[in-house]
Amino acid sequence: MLSFKTKLLVSFAILLLGTQIYAYFRYKLFPYNPIFLITNLPSSIFLKNTLTGHNDYVNSVAISSAGKTLASGGWDKTTKIWNLQTGNLENTLYGHSDSVLAVAISSDSSTLVSSSWDYTINIWDLETRELKNTLTRHSAAVNSVAISPDGETLASGSTDKTIKIWDLPTGKLKHTLTGHKNYVTSVAISPDNSTLASGSFDNTMKIWDLQTGKLKHTLTGHTASIFYVAISPDNSNLVSGSTDKNIKVWNLHTGKLKNTLTGHTNTVLSLAISPDNSTLISGGADNNIKIWNLQTGKLKNTLTGHRDYVLALAISPDSSTFVSGSADETIKIWRLPR
């Protein structure tokens, strides 16, 4: 009889059109020569570095507010800390007994949070690299974590269909939010610490009051599972990526749909918005990274450097650099035009 985790893996593979197992073994057995991986790059964007060290999918990446530190989480059960400028690996953190699904760094760069398929959330001191706390109230994989800009609140979304709101300094559970009818895949907190957004395999996004846990809006418009949600730094937009291959831009306050961006040929797995709100970056199961004008919805560039799913994205605070993590087991550091 198949285990619960095996069933989840099979379901995930089916949602991504059944290509994940094929791609995994294809690239294990027949890796590409890196010289052929970088194609169609515009002159103003270039690949600065490729980081290797994870020995399985890179699920999540986060950049510190100072732009010096990069954190990554992988299926190899580790969280890694890198020097973003040099690309050097500084530490590998062990503490989870299963795949690390998400990482987040506090705005003061003092705290790193990781979550895992082992149902736990680990709180790390980013300066000493020591484990401070482990949160254990979810009953299934913790797919996503987000830290409020003031560093006081942590939100987590889980395969148990709930969102939990925690007091980050103490680890105390404040609220458990229910309403999604399937796995919660992504959570995001607004820049003003007031709003929480969530995305789910139930094809919906929900907007919540972060302080009270009250549901404000349920957004419907995607025709398939939501894999990622992001809130713009100006606190105006919610952006969602889905298995329906589309990206949708919503008014965060009213929940009204503003725009639909098309261009990916498979599931949209990851999103990042530049600090100046001008640029949206998306990563997909088509192995592509797309650069969009967030205000107009116009596609500016497509980058084809990864040879497997682009699972994670993060943009540096000065918007000069972005980082991508992939199922090809690499992290790539790209330069963005100023």
Supply the DSSP symbol for 36: G
Q: How far is CA 337 from CA 65, 187, 297, 319, 334, in A?
A: 19, 29, 18, 8, 10
In the prediction, which pLDDT does 44 show?
76
- The encoded tokens of residue 126 equal 């980013």
- Count how many domains the chain has: 1
Which portions of the chain are predicted below pLDDT 70?
1-43
Q: Judge contact between 83 and 90, C-beta under 8 A.
A: yes
**Domain range for residue 72?**
4-335
What CATH number should be reported for the domain holding residue 118? 2.130.10.10
pTM for this entry: 0.88
Closest C-alpha among 338, 334, 336, 290 to residue 51: 334
CA–CA distance, 316 with 302 (Å, rounded to integer): 19
- The encoded tokens of residue 26 equal 């294809």
CA–CA distance, 113 with 162 (Å, rounded to integer): 18
101-143 pLDDT per residue, tens = 999 999 999 999 999 999 999 999 999 999 999 999 999 999 9
In the prediction, which pLDDT does 282 show?
98
Closest C-alpha among 217, 206, 113, 207 to residue 156: 113
